Structure 1
């Protein structure tokens, strides 16, 4: 079986037969032009090889590192503008010509551990028509490239020295700053770190705790003495201080004596006189004055800006201590003072202990900080030492710098471009073959750009890619009788089984209860009308009352194919024609159960007729009276009549044909029918496909042709392929 792409290409070759001869003629012409061209002039090529070069003795590390390896060279880095201009000036040649004729290839070496491995090398070639100039240029190139490599290595080394010298002062300053920071830290935090290392802080904390314990013992003894004296004296330390101070003041003692004398006189007078007596009143006023004086004096003695007023509420009582009680009061005041002093000492020692503990807890962080600063100094010092060492090594390498390239062999000049004379027959044959290949490619390109699908396989693939069901593969109806109709009126036709299979597939679709279907196509000549008639004939011969309505009102009727003559008045009055349902439906005389409504076309107002109530009543009546109604509609690219009739149908079948269907129109039509929810596309059929009939069927066709020849004896017999 021929592959689809080969079949498609053979069809394209059949359509564009002129392309291949034209390509061969053009190829022969081009070959002839090439054959008559004169031979190119003789040229010379100078060649030289540069290999890796190394100094005989090396004392420095940078000297070997700075040397650029041969593998790192490129044609751009070797063939600089300075080299080109210098050589061009010496040999008197244009720089552009020199650059164009020079070729430099860098070849990497093999494994360095293998002595037999090939070394890395640079191949230099220069092509020129002058032999002497070619030798001069290749010699100059070899010498200048070796010198250019040496200059490059020297420049790289000087660049390294300059970078180290530029960076070294900053590194030295960073080292000095790090050392100064460490020194300042030791000056500030060093004593504490040393004290922590010697254990002085721990000793100080222990001594503070012991001192607190001794002070608390002393404080407990003083508290016991204070409690004992308070129990005996009946006064707290503050009251004892006030009473002792008041009792020791002579003025208060004198005022208190005078006040007692006045009180005695008042008591005597009150025995004989009333309280309102002037003498009694005078004595009371004197008593109040002395009491006021005692209070003022008590305030002066005690002091405190009146803050001790609660302690001198009863001055006469508080200022009348006997010597023994006064001594106890003084002792109580002294003990209270000692107590407050001890409490203050305890608070101070606790604070000191807390400070020592805080210092001790911060010691690890300070030690870590000092270690970090010390590491920074070490790192800076190592970097500074390394840079000093690198600088010394780089300066020592200045005397060791040599070129990375060395001349492997002396430059040679040899002629090139010597070719055998051209063979005109071979040149013409090559041109013809090239023209043939180009012509074949042009045919393939034209076939691709045409857009028509020529093979049944490509057509089916295009339909499947749009997820549309293929309901049948319909054959190309062949006949050896001229002007024979492709409509299968003959019940013994070998092509009838394909339409019967199409009818069965149509019944097995998702919409199984199909009463009215419409045949559609994208363009004309795809065999839509023939497919509709043959499907109707297959349905009628299966015992189904079948009606075929020619709904293409823009074309003439094809009813004569089944021996029906259209009504001549239908074209003049189409509405009246469709309104008389019993008259417009005609029974086909040669096919049982087949009824046809011939088209009254062509009509200038086809769309309005399709939307008329008469045609709607015809479709409704046909749905109830027939088992299957088939509508033959105009192509979609021609008009929208099929979309007008679609609401009255149960679905549409798209008819395609290889060699006629356009891929772009097919894809556009399928997308429109499938993306619109109200439109129902049942599937598609591929019409006009060449099929292999059985031998008996072929013989039957030949017998029919012989019978026709015997009866009609035509002058010319032509095989008819129609669909």
Structure 2
């Protein structure tokens, strides 16, 4: 590569020029569908094989007979019923009769051992012969019996429905008579198991009752002794009646105390009132205590009469007269007597108050004693109630256990089977085998297996089928997508035939070199877009030369080089197409041009002879073609000669664009030698043919050679 045309820093695609899009992740349904479409023959083959095997299985398989019977299972054992009725125990009453444990037990060795013995007795050839010691009654050894294993594999024990107490038992076997006999043996074994289980429950329940009875009896007697000691210690029969008696007494004495306090307050008020009145004078005293004193009232009346006499005598006598003096002396004597009676009344009231206070103190003492008795009785009553409650519970438990003991003794003497056959063993019926259903299942299975196999094979080949896989590996931009051409190469470059074969409109336009035909064709439009993207990718300097190569042969690089040069010529550029694939030249064959004079011949002659018609051909206006030339020369040696290098440098100034068609990148160095002399390389890749390992190898070589790669042109299949 020329140092004056391409800076060393741009010899490889820089990160700022192109950053591949990150995968969004998730399942790519489109890519998966395309992969399955590519490997359709694998999927179809697997589907056919699977459906064939399914059909063969249906046609060759012996019929299997099914038989069933249904049995009703009671929900609760005798032992559980006994324990759940005891108040001291907490047992859930909502127990399912059928659970996983029961179903496991019904298919266990302990229950099915009589069935196996009956089968061996009736059908000696039902199962393989076993050693003599394998018929031991030990359930662990019995579980390894081949006959037991065969029976369990054919026997199905399931609950009839969710929450149902009915168990459905199904048996499959090629012999219908065997189905009938074995199911009868199984039903009899289940009924026997239910009876034995019931009897075992009764025995365990009786052991439980007999174990509990002594403790309950001792507890009842102990509580009775405590109750008797409590009554004797406190001299009571019933705390409630004693409490009622104390309550009545407290109420009576409390009422008396209240009345006494009222009477005492009244006497105190009367005493104080009497003292105040007597201090003011005997004549004005009117206390209730004085009114209750008849002598005081008699003296008071005598005083009033004497005052009346003195008033009458004062009208007749003088104050100093003997008669007046006598009357006044009598009055003084009455006052002295009144005063003595008043004091006597005070003493009487004081004595009454003292008596009432003494009585009040006695009532208080009595009430305090009653209050102590009440407090003591409350503790006694609580203890009495606790003992009575415990005694009642213990007595009830004892009575229930005694009743259960009697009931269990009766049940143990009975032999009634607790379970019941609801539906007897049905007549064995052949299991219907649906050919259509098996074919559908086989087809679906074949599709799945074929799809998985197709994906694995597709992954193992290492072929890249998706554009994004190629782009992610190469770390290069996709400059264009080349569709499949609708016409052959020569007719596209032949204006006369192109006008006849083009599907779109035909436009004529003037160029610097005359007239040319531009066909509105998606194929040519893809190359015009590719040429435009190439020019934009070389924006730092004008695009003058490009070498077109591919990773592998037969990826369409020569076709891409031809149409890229054609697209540039049709856009008015002076273009030279050079075939540098000296080992296997293709340009002259595609364009139907003579190859008797070309690059190899020109390299051995004077470069000035390039203008001769024997070297350059012009299939359309603006496009010159330099074929590879005659063979018989060492391509690697010719491309490294200074004459060829000088020739390439002389060609570029004479044209607007020089397109070099080079060999593929793997297995030979020709493309790298040409790339050193041009502005950059365009790689043509074809999904579905390119392999991952070859692509990685080519990219490593490009990095080592420091080749400037513009991008990738994707060739659609």
TM range (shorter): 0.3 to 0.5
TM-score normalised by the chain length of structure 1:
0.47
